Structure 1
Amino acid sequence: MTLTMKLDDIKPYVRYAKILRMGADYSSVNMRAYDNRLLYFFSGNARLEIDGTVYNPERGQCFLWTPDSVYSLSADGDGFTVLVVNYDYTFAARNVSLCLPPAPAGMFDESKRPEKICFSDFNEFNAPLFIKDMHNNEYDFHCLENEFISPQRNYAAMLSAIMQKILLVCARQAGTRASAGSSCLVLSVIEYIHENYANDLSNAAIGQQFNYHPNYINRCMLASTGQSLHQYVVNARVLKALELLQTTDLSVTEISRAVGFKSIKHFSQSFKRCYNYSPTHFR
């Protein structure tokens, strides 16, 4: 059964994490992994094919894919050095603790798959993902391997925390790449929201202000911030309200109106969702 989840909810279970030196004769053709894979290339020359797309990995490049993908990996020249990570996105199958070797694609047994995940808010993790430059995260990759080969107390939680950071960095890189063409628009919209929180900031009004369809702006905001346009507006208003609660003598009702909420009820509900307390708690 497929589990639908959001990116913020990942709690990776790392089943294997080692830096390997593959010799010139290494070759693995048309395989499927039972858990998710992350490969980070440190040096050497290789040929990697994932679902028909061929790559010649270089140092700093990172690849992720799910058990749905068919892949081949072989040395090109004298071999290569690569970090291999086998992982799940949850701890649900932590009882399957031993490394699961991949299977030839034609012999893959779906029943042995520990989990099947579909991300509802980050489609990039539902398909093979190529990150061009992860040089700055090599320290984290070494920490991951060190924790795996020299486990200490709470090592599974530590592996999970390191892997979560790596995956979120990958997600940010992928999100930045996907939204590069819209980044200027998003920055302008964000600036406009913070300067006009007391005014009409409906999706339609913002679309009219920037001469774009509101659905397009909403997609750009989701890609860049992880929040819908409406969510971002509400959070900006609540943040300003918190500032006013702490720095002015305005009543809660006055602050609600000042930051653009049309009803005190909506303001109180939105505030509590963000801070787990009612506005009066900060008085």
Structure 2
Amino acid sequence: MIGEAEMNIFVRYADIAGYPPMPYRVRAYDCRFFFILSGSGKIEIDGTEYRFAPDTLCYYPAGSAYTIIPEEQPRFVSVNFDFTREHTDIPSVMPPVPAESYERKRRLDTQNECGEDIFISPFVLHGASFLREVLTKAAEEFLCGSEHSENRAAALVQYACYLIPDRHAEGDAGLCARIADYIRANYSGKLTLAGLSEVFSYHPNYLGTVFRNGTGVTVHRYIMNIRLKKASELLAATPLPVAEIASLVGFRNADHFSACFSANCGMSPTEYRSRGFLG
């Protein structure tokens, strides 16, 4: 939990709008939230590419280099903010500038003072529907332009910042569990990291990292383990030919299955069966 004394949000700018293609890298002087309301595309932040879809939150701290590549025209909430009110003397929008023109001395590094490590580095949070209403309302409050609109917008953004750390962890765990469930239900078919990324609408690199962090093994290794476990059960409980078992558990041919089984189990499928498991 973030201590109130460590965070006191100042909203410098907020809007609800579309976004044009950005074919070059830019850097911002303050912190940014982009929450995708509709549309899809890619965002590259500090050299890492992420996909975005509705209910995706993109966060990058001051100084991050980013490029946005829309595919289906996105509509989004944007919030430019500081984690402290130390720089309220710079109230107007600070537009991003081409990376090569960036002036380091103007950067407002308030992310280092917020009391929560998650905000020090960029991240993309998928399935963040719990933030849709609060961030939309924050932008609407800011756009009102009334005497206290910035304070109300800041309170809403600060509330979002309190929600994000726990939900970020829950989101990764939930995604990991859904991937594992899908693999267990579909191990007999064609399964690849690229294919799973299409099913779950995440970039393959992101999906693979989340799964490895959550299970301790790669997606490929998890698929292999499930297939070999199912094959062992069929070898032990049925008289089915090895080639048929190979096909049933998702291997492209019997030779590939036998090679993988031997490498992982220390014996061939025929040897495994001959040890008396079938009875």
TM-score bracket for this pair, using the shorter chain length? 0.5 to 0.7
The match for 1:12 is: 9
CA contact (8 A) 2:11 2:79 kept: yes
Q: Tell me if structure 1 keeps the 8 A contact 2:83–2:114.
A: no
In the alignment, is the contact (CA less than 8 A) between 2:56 and 2:128 conserved in 1? yes
| C-alpha distance in structure 2 between counterparts of 1:108 and 1:7, whole Å | 32
**What is the rounded CA distance, in whole Å, between the counterparts of 2:10 and 2:30 in structure 1?**
10
- 2:50 matched to 1:64? no
Instruction: Give the equivalent residue in structure 2 for 1:46.
Output: 41
Q: Distance in 2 between matches of 1:136 and 1:6?
A: 21
Q: How does 1:193-208 map to 2 (within 5 A)?
A: none
Q: Determine if the alignment matches structure 1 residue 152 to structure 2 residue 146.
A: yes
Give the counterpart of 1:169 among 163, 166, 171.
Answer: 163
Q: How many residues align?
A: 173
Deviations along 1:75-117, one digit per CA (max 9) or x if unpaired, are 214x111111100001110110110011111211012223444
Aligned partners of 2:5, 2:168: CA distance in 1, in Å? 15
1:110 to 104, 117, 120: 104
* Separation in 2, partners of 1:120, 1:141: 19
Give the drift of 1:119. Answer: 5.0
5+ residue gaps in structure 2? 175-279
Check 1:177–1:41 CA distance in 2 against 1; reply closer, same or farther (3 A cut). closer
Corresponding position: 1:139 with 2:136: no
Output the amino acid matched with 2:138: L
Deviation at 1:179, TM superposition (A): 8.0
> Please, which of 31, 34, 54 is the counterpart of residue 29 of structure 2?
34
In the TM superposition, residue 14 of structure 1 has moved relative to its aligned partner by: 0.5
| 8 Å contact kept, 1:119–1:126 | no
- Maintained 8 Å contact 1:7/1:122: no
Greater than 3 Å deviation, 4+ residue runs: 5-8, 114-117, 175-180
Hey, what's the Cα distance between the residues in 1 that align with 2:94 and 2:19? 19
Equivalent-residue separation in structure 2 for 1:111 and 1:72 (angstroms) = 22
- Please tell me the residue identity of whatever aligns with 2:9: P
SS of the residue 2:52 aligns to: coil
Q: In the TM superposition, what are the counterparts of 1:212-251 in structure 2 within 5 Å? A: none
Secondary structure, counterpart of 2:156 in structure 1: helix
Shift of residue 71 of structure 1? 0.7
Aligned position for 2:18: 21
- CA RMSD after TM alignment: 2.3
CA contact (8 A) 2:83 2:113 kept: no
Give the partner amino acid of 2:168: A
Shift of 1:137: 2.6
**CA deviations over 1:183-214 (Å, ceiling 9, x no partner):** xxxxxxxxxxxxxxxxxxxxxxxxxxxxxxxx
Change over 3 Å in CA distance of 1:110–1:98 after alignment to 2? same
**Matches of 1:120 and 1:156, distance apart in 2:** 19
Distance 2:154 2:59 in 1: 16
CA spacing shift, 1:177–1:47, aligned 2, 3 Å: closer
- Residue 266 of structure 2 aligns with which residue? none
User: Which ranges in structure 1 are unaligned for 5 or more consecutive residues?
Assistant: 181-283
Deviation at 1:177, TM superposition (A): 5.1
Structure ID, larger Rg: 2
